Amino acid sequence: MILALLPLSRFVLGVLCYAHKRASRGLAALGWCIGVILSVFLLVATRDGSILTLGLGGWPAQLGIGLRFDAVAAAFAPLLLLLELAVLLYARKGERDPLFYALLQFLLGAVFALLLAVDLFNEYAILELLTLVSFLLVGYERRATQVWASLKYLILASIGMSLFLAGVALVYRHTGTLNLSLIADIVRARPNAPWIPLAATLLTVGVAVKAGVLGLSQWLPAAHSAAPTEVSALLSGLVIKMGIVVLLRISQVFPLGLLLQVLGTMTALIGVLYAAYARNLKRMLAFHTLSQIGYLVLGLSVGTPDALAGVLDYAIAHGLFKGLLFLAAGEATRAAGGGRFTELATNRRSIPNATIAALLLGTLAIVGLPPLAGFGAKAALLDSHPSRFVFAVFYLTTIGTAFSFAKLLPLFRWHRGTARSDRIGAYATLALPILFFIPLTVTALPSLDLAAEFEPLLVLESLAAIAIGTLLHRVLRRRTPRLPVRLFFLEEAVLAILIAFLVAAALIHIH
């Protein structure tokens, strides 16, 4: 019953937050406490690698709604609670109304429900709920740029979910079930069935629109950069990973190795290219979300247990340092009067030193400086992939990341007399796990021997990539290429989804 309470308690609290407006902040804090208690109980119960399952209503697995708390849910539950605490602390001094806290509870309840879901239709329904709540949160402040970004997100996500629903219908037509474990058994028994490539294409392309795969998720840079600060941190640190979770589930049923390798490579390299020449801090962070999603998709393309463990490890690390970066970027933008790098550098003295420290730590983590979260997780993910081509993609992306974040170097100077930050508690909530990520991961995921990643050669390779990226920025910073921007317009984005569908179908047939 605890499995059902994890998401249901959030939905109930969401209604109460809106109904009892004066108590909304207290109810949101209560939701976090309930989440901690239930999650700790489940984490302790599955510490030995066991899986907890629950069939609602007593129906058989073929027809009923099932819930499962496995390694994926166990990895994301702590990230969800840490990001939630950071957001609550960040918003404590703000003017967020009860609607914000109600939507926050609905969002987190949907995330918990998706982590526990084991059948395709429930995943579809929960992804639709996430889309609706995210749409409302992106446009929460009702600024023109936010409203348009949220509408574009809603339109493109609806197209993706329509494709996904068509795939769900096709799977049910040929298998008579939507339970992923049962579907996997049927696919293994009949690997050459003619319906499998089409179903795999519909499901993969549909969820890739939500997962932040470039060529399919052109809504992401505008939505993540225009959203309120707390929402940007949740979207990039947590919500975008739910598409990856569904993609992970699907990749364990259908053969998607070649398709995921192509999509991951494209997302990593093109995402970091646009990030390198972004002129606004939050927009650069949004493009880096695309780039980092490329890492995760490349890890999924391998499909081995070590690779999947590496994907989970990097997803958690990315959630921590990207959440920290977005929260710090929001306060820096507010203090400096704008988010362009020139404005941030000019008004450096108005930015609190605590915010600068948070930006610095997040920067060092995302570029992979040992022994922070980015290095350990990236090393674990890379170590699970035997391909030299993939190693080259990872290395080029790391250089591009260092190139991008070198634009923040003028900010990293300590000045006396700057304003005091009210968000130190929010920063510390995410900074501490980033600093102690490796010992925490070894404790939580003992199957990942991250201590072994501290080989001298691997450390030197990481430091060399950071140095090369920083040096290239100093040499090329005045040479700004004109990158095509129509790729992110709504009309071109719809066309890109259709082209990606045809390409995906061809790659799945080749595989």
pLDDT at 458 over 60: yes
Q: What is the spatial distance between Cα 89 and Cα 228, in angstroms, rounded to a whole number?
A: 15
- Burial letters for 474-501: b for 16+ Cβ neighbours within 10 Å, e otherwise? eeeeeeeeeeeeebbeeeebeebbeebb
pLDDT band at 307 (very low <50, low <70, confident <90, very high): confident
* 181-234 pLDDT per residue, tens: 999 999 999 988 999 999 999 999 999 999 989 888 899 999 999 999 999 999
Higher pLDDT, 341 or 451: 341
| Among 511, 441, 493, 509, CA closest to 160 | 493
pLDDT for position 450: 56
Residue 227 lies in a domain: no
Tokens at 168, concatenated: 């769900």
pLDDT for position 454: 59
pLDDT at 14 over 60: yes
Tokens at 105, concatenated: 């509870």
pLDDT at 63 over 80: no
Q: 340 pairs with which residues across the strands?
A: 280
Q: What is the spatial distance between Cα 53 and Cα 51, in angstroms, rounded to a whole number?
A: 6
Rg (CA), the chain: 22
Helix axes 144-175, 180-189, angle to 10 degrees: 50
pLDDT for position 444: 66
Residue 120 lies in a domain: no
pLDDT band at 68 (very low <50, low <70, confident <90, very high): very high
pLDDT at 364 over 90: yes
Q: What is the mean pLDDT of the chain?
A: 90
pLDDT for position 222: 92
Q: What is the spatial distance between Cα 73 and Cα 318, in angstroms, rounded to a whole number?
A: 16
Read off the pLDDT of each residue in 468-492 and give the average, rounded to a whole number: 87
The residues near 449 (Cβ < 8 Å, ≥ 6 apart) are 442
pLDDT at 75 over 70: yes
Read off the pLDDT of each residue in 327-343 and give the average, rounded to a whole number: 93
Residue 384 lies in a domain: yes
pLDDT band at 62 (very low <50, low <70, confident <90, very high): confident
Read off the pLDDT of each residue in 290-309 and give the average, rounded to a whole number: 88
> How many structural domains are present in the chain?
1
Residue 347 lies in a domain: yes
pLDDT at 36 over 70: yes
> Is the Cβ–Cβ distance between 193 and 232 less than 8 Å?
no
The residues near 142 (Cβ < 8 Å, ≥ 6 apart) are none
pLDDT at 452 over 70: no
Model confidence pTM above 0.85? yes
Write the single-letter amino acid at 107. Answer: L
Write the single-letter amino acid at 188. Answer: R
How many other C-beta atoms lie within 10 A of the C-beta of residue 121? Answer: 16
- Domain of 305 in residue numbering reads as 256-480
- Considering only 218-227, 444-453, 459-468, 495-504, which range has the smallest mean pLDDT? 444-453
Read off the pLDDT of each residue in 16-28 and give the average, rounded to a whole number: 92
pLDDT at 378 over 90: no
pLDDT for position 137: 95
Residue count (the chain): 511
Q: 66 pairs with which residues across the strands?
A: 55
Alpha helices in 406-489 (DSSP H): 424-435, 437-444, 456-476
> Is the Cβ–Cβ distance between 3 and 116 less than 8 Å?
yes
pLDDT at 379 over 80: no
pLDDT for position 448: 53
pLDDT for position 357: 94
- Considering only 34-38, 130-134, 144-148, 440-444, which range has the smallest mean pLDDT? 440-444
Residue 16 lies in a domain: no
Write the single-letter amino acid at 140. Answer: Y
Tokens at 476, concatenated: 């090329």
Whole-number percent of the chain with pLDDT over 70: 95
| Among 403, 219, 423, 243, CA closest to 326 | 423
> Is the Cβ–Cβ distance between 245 and 86 less than 8 Å?
no
Residue 365 lies in a domain: yes
pLDDT for position 446: 60
Residue 279 lies in a domain: yes
Q: 179 pairs with which residues across the strands?
A: 119
- Give the CA angle between residues 486, 489, 490 to the nearest 5°: 145
Read off the pLDDT of each residue in 402-429 and give the average, rounded to a whole number: 86
pLDDT for position 92: 85
| Among 117, 151, 157, CA closest to 136 | 151
pLDDT for position 374: 84
**CA distances (Å), 509 to each of 59, 357, 371, 474, in order?**
36, 49, 42, 45
Residue 286 lies in a domain: yes
* 237-288 pLDDT per residue, tens: 999 999 999 999 999 999 998 999 999 999 999 999 999 999 999 999 999 9
The residues near 432 (Cβ < 8 Å, ≥ 6 apart) are none
The residues near 293 (Cβ < 8 Å, ≥ 6 apart) are 211, 212, 213, 240, 244, 267, 271
| Among 49, 46, 107, CA closest to 230 | 107
> Is the Cβ–Cβ distance between 270 and 356 less than 8 Å?
no
DSSP class per residue in 386-403 = --HHHHHHHHHHHHHHHH
> Is the Cβ–Cβ distance between 109 and 238 less than 8 Å?
no
* 105-122 pLDDT per residue, tens: 999 999 999 999 999 999
